[in-house]
Amino acid sequence: MQTAYRFKIQPDREQKSMLLDWQQKIGSLYNLCLRDRIDSYHHTKILGNYCDLTTTAVACPLTCSVNKSASLGYPWKTDNPSRRPREKKFNPRRTAYEMHSSLATEWRQTKPWYSTVCSDVLQQSLRHLDKAFTGFFKQGRGFPKFKSHHNVGIEFKPKTVRLSGNRITFPVLGQMKFFISRYIPESWEIRTVTLSREVDGWYASILLRDETVPDTPIKTEQEIKTCIGVDVGIKKLASLSNGQLIANPRFDKQSSRRLRIRQRRLSRKKRGSKNRKKAAKRVASVHQKIRRQRQDYQWKIAKKIAESADMIVFEDLNVRGMKARCKPKWDEEQKRYLRNNQSAKSQLNKAISDASWYRLKQKTKHQARKLGNWVKDINPIRTSQECSKCGYVSPKNRDGEKLICESCGHHEDADIDAAIVIGNRGIKQLNLSSTKLLVVSQKVTPKPESTGSKMRNKSLPLGGESGNPKQVEFVQLELFDLLEWSSG
């Protein structure tokens, strides 16, 4: 079993300056290699009869095969049978990662300022770049992005970092103190250690492994007995098919006044001054508090959702498309652009970003993996317009936050009904006939004909009047009872 612990470390002044210097150099090497891979990929599409458009060299098989992945670094390697398994065939061409790795080694020898950076740290950043490209081409992940030096992590390889009490020892950097916020068993093995910088200091994320505790196996399709659907939103962060509604605290609104004041103070400071840096740090501390509040709340919610059923079904939402800018409207008569309500939509985009639906789903997947449960994504088209009883789909089924089916008369909270539809689609997609969907446990009248005058005798008696019992059981009034009562 593997788990990650995060601790705050206390580097001294010299170590802080060294860490900041490492971030700059690691980020520059990462961005240079990323640009090289992008250029090499585009060159293969437009080369034509040339190997290189800059030199207009004639195409040849050797250089073309190398230029497809990268161009920086040495492209060939020498055979060393003592360090290679015999059954593995030797390939003299280097991969893109191996070429960039040779470039990093060359830089540490030819550029003195790069010799101060730990070689393992440089190699780890290039491994992450290669992994990002592999995920983009083979697993459908996002394209790798250029990094600012503020967001560069410093990762150390396994068995290079040592812990002793409240002190942690890194290669080249030396020994640092750290806050022991949680106990680390001595039997656990330290894998990788990643250093990251935040507004209040430096943090170390330690990946630990315990061989004695096996990973929880993922349940088979026959073992999935219960299922729950999750509909995410803005006012209600998540609505579950079992009737549970999870509120959205809107942490950005809670701190909006403080953030607005500190941003205004920042804008009035002189550029390049120390007071401006202090004001920027205060603004960053507010953003950090909002982020930590959101993360803590989502981790708690994700654990509850993951424990509620054997399979959790989410919508595969296109959040980027939902937050896209409104298309401009051109008026031919007035020869100008009309208002497209983009300013109003900006508040909706801000609320979507604060809700962070994707992060909630990722945390739920992490918690469900520990329990061996499934997390499934389904097509979100018209889940809020479909009746969970008869399957009738119509935009007129929606009435604000209520859903009233035009076909069968079924009525329910629109978000809960959408969660039930999401859960049913997940079960149908996997053909799980023996799986039970956890639905809201309240009585719902299926037909409008069985409401009205026939249900008047079930109204709630007043417990305070004489002749009535003191303790009265609460009865859920149906929607059509209220309509009949209001009409007289």
Backbone angles phi, psi at 330, to 5 degrees: -100, 130
Whether residues 364 and 424 fall in one domain? yes
Rounded CA separation 217/154 (Å): 32
Provide the 8-state DSSP code for 76: B
Domain shared by 132 and 225, yes or no: no
Residue 105 lies in a domain: yes
Reduced to 3 states, what is the DSSP secondary structure of residue 18?
helix
Q: Does 271 reside within a domain?
A: no
In a domain, 325, yes or no: yes
With a CB cutoff of 8 Å and minimum separation 6, the contacts of 173 are 11, 15, 18, 19, 118
Specify the pairing of strand 189-198 against strand 50-52: unpaired
Tokens of 256: 């909006």
What is the reported pLDDT for 472?
42
- 356 and 460 belong to one structural domain: no
User: Residues 81, 83, 84, CA angle at the centre, nearest 5°?
Assistant: 65
List b or e across 177-212, with b for residues whose CB sees 16 or more CB atoms inside 10 angstroms: ebeeeeeeeeebebbbbbbbbeeeebbbebbbeeee
Asked if residue 335 and residue 186 are part of one domain, the reply reads: no
Its pTM stands at 0.79
Write down the pLDDT at residue 96.
Answer: 86
User: 195 and 110 in one domain?
Assistant: yes
* Residue labelled with tokens 């990973």: 215
Q: Is residue 298 part of a domain?
A: no
Question: How much is the pLDDT for 58?
Answer: 56
d(CA 13, CA 43): 45
Size (the chain), residues: 488
Query: How many domains is the chain built from?
Result: 3
Range of the domain at 396: 221-248+308-437
Does 168 fall in a domain? yes
Alpha carbon distance 377, 372 (integer Å): 17
Residues with Cβ within 8 Å of 129's Cβ and at least 6 positions away in sequence, in order, are: 30, 33, 34, 37, 97, 100, 144
Q: What is the pLDDT of residue 375?
A: 93
The answer to the question of residue 268 being in a domain is: no
Distances (CA, A) of 56 to 43, 52, 71, 251, 429: 12, 5, 15, 57, 54
Contact 434, 468 (CB under 8 A): no
Q: Are 204 and 232 in the same domain?
A: no
On whether both 82 and 192 belong to a single domain, the answer is yes
Q: What's the rounded Cα separation, in Å, for the pair 476 and 442?
A: 8
Closest CA to 478 of 418, 415, 412: 412
| Same domain flag for 433 and 457 | no
Q: How far apart are CA 488 and CA 479, in angstroms?
A: 15
User: In angstroms, rounded to a whole number, what is the distance separating the alpha carbons of residues 230 and 227?
Assistant: 10
Residue 204 inside a domain? The answer is yes
Indicate whether 238 and 337 sit together in one domain: yes
My answer on whether 14 and 158 are in the same domain is yes
Query: How high is the mean pLDDT in each 10-residue block of the chain (488 residues)?
Result: 90 94 94 89 66 56 54 73 64 82 88 90 93 87 89 92 92 92 88 93 92 82 91 93 92 93 96 95 95 95 94 92 86 83 85 93 93 92 90 88 88 91 91 77 45 40 45 49 52
Same-domain status, 476 and 415: no
The verdict on 227 and 162 lying in the same domain is no
pLDDT at 285: 95
